[in-house]
Amino acid sequence: MGAEEAILAFGRFMNLFRRLTWLEKRLLVSKLYVQEAEYSHPLLPKEALRVLFVSDIHAGPYFSRAQEETLSRVIEAADADLILYGGDFGQKPQDGIAWLKRQRVQKPRYGSFCVPGNHDRISTEPFERLAAAAAEKGIRALQNTMASLPCGIDLFGADDFRTGKPDGDALRQTAAPGRFGLLLCHNPDALPDMLPPFYHLALCGHTHGGQVALFGRAILSSSIYRSRFLSGWKQLEGADILVSNGVGVSALPIRIGARPQVNLLTLRQGETGRRTLRETEAQVWLQEKETK
């Protein structure tokens, strides 16, 4: 048995153990948080937009139907103008396709979009199949392409850093002056090769916040830059970056120091600024929405 097979076997054992014990309700891996933030920039449209960013769902053996139900309720209750998926829908491509088939068709005002993650394709399962399943649910895949939104935002979608070929030059050539550029990119490791100013804000996932992180550092990093793009707000050459912890887990069913999250951003016109408002456990957040 190789190292990867041994890790997966140990992960299956841990997953069974946590579900058969009191750990199920106490481990972060079984929870979900909604992180709300505000972002302002002079080039943003006058009318504020609500953007929901969902990354690294990792549907599959470590993602229960209860977790899936909670996520679906949050997506629906967010009432977002724009929904963005940061890749890794499933632990394997077929897991992501199965998750998509169970979802409702999405019709936010400015659409739903996604980019590929490293778990969204393998040699025998090209990304096009998952992209087709996403399209059936109203989610348009961007792969080194741009979508010009009617609200005055250019949405750029990069290919995955590990399993694809992110092409910053191709995206840069599609940028229009005077419009706000929003970059959707699964792995923040691609950013140093896709420098601004063609985008002003980048939304990324992949890192899981380290999944197991102590004192702001990942025990085992999935990034070539270690903890540089681990989690939260970052900056690169004048552009802002938000790296989400993501929803699910990979390799092992455990999270320490890295809450699973979706990100709900309010984008508004004004002086460039960013601030995280709060992070609320999803069940509490849903109850608050129901009582308003």
How many alpha carbons fall within 13 Å on the CB side of residue 78? Answer: 31
For residues 261 and 124, give the distance between their C-alpha atoms in angstroms, rounded to a whole number: 30
Is 4 part of any domain?
no
> Does position 9 have pLDDT exceeding 50, yes or no?
no
Domain that residue 121 falls in: 29-291
Where residue 103 falls (left for φ over 0; alpha for ψ -120 to 50; beta otherwise) is: beta
For residues 97 and 55, give the distance between their C-alpha atoms in angstroms, rounded to a whole number: 15
**In terms of C-beta density within 10 A (0-12 exposed, 13-18 middle, 19 or more buried), how is residue 248 classed?**
buried
For residues 6 and 193, give the distance between their C-alpha atoms in angstroms, rounded to a whole number: 34
Q: Give the range among 5-19, 130-144, 212-226, 255-269 with minimum mean pLDDT.
A: 5-19
Structure tokens at 159: 């290919």
Single-letter amino acid code for the residue at 165: K
Is 157 part of any domain?
yes
Q: Report which of 186, 192, 226 is spatially closest to residue 206, judged by C-alpha positions.
A: 186
3-state secondary structure at position 148: strand
DSSP bridge pairs for 280: 34
Determine the pLDDT at residue 251.
Answer: 83
> Does position 22 have pLDDT exceeding 50, yes or no?
no
Structure tokens at 204: 């990324």
The domain tally of the chain equals: 1
| Residue 151 pLDDT grade (very low, low, confident, very high; cuts 50, 70, 90) | very high
Q: How many helices (DSSP H) and strands (DSSP E) are in the chain? A: 6, 15
Is 37 part of any domain?
yes
For residues 291 and 219, give the distance between their C-alpha atoms in angstroms, rounded to a whole number: 40
Is 246 part of any domain?
yes
DSSP bridge pairs for 267: 39, 49
Single-letter amino acid code for the residue at 46: K
Q: What is the CATH number of the domain that holds 234?
A: 3.60.21.10
Region 108-129: mean pLDDT is 94
> Does position 95 have pLDDT exceeding 60, yes or no?
yes
| Residue 123 pLDDT grade (very low, low, confident, very high; cuts 50, 70, 90) | confident
For residues 139 and 153, give the distance between their C-alpha atoms in angstroms, rounded to a whole number: 17
In this structure, what DSSP letter does residue 23 have? G
Is 6 part of any domain?
no
Region 261-275: mean pLDDT is 97
Is 151 part of any domain?
yes
Is 7 part of any domain?
no
Is 20 part of any domain?
no
Average pLDDT, rounded, for the chain: 91
Region 173-190: mean pLDDT is 96
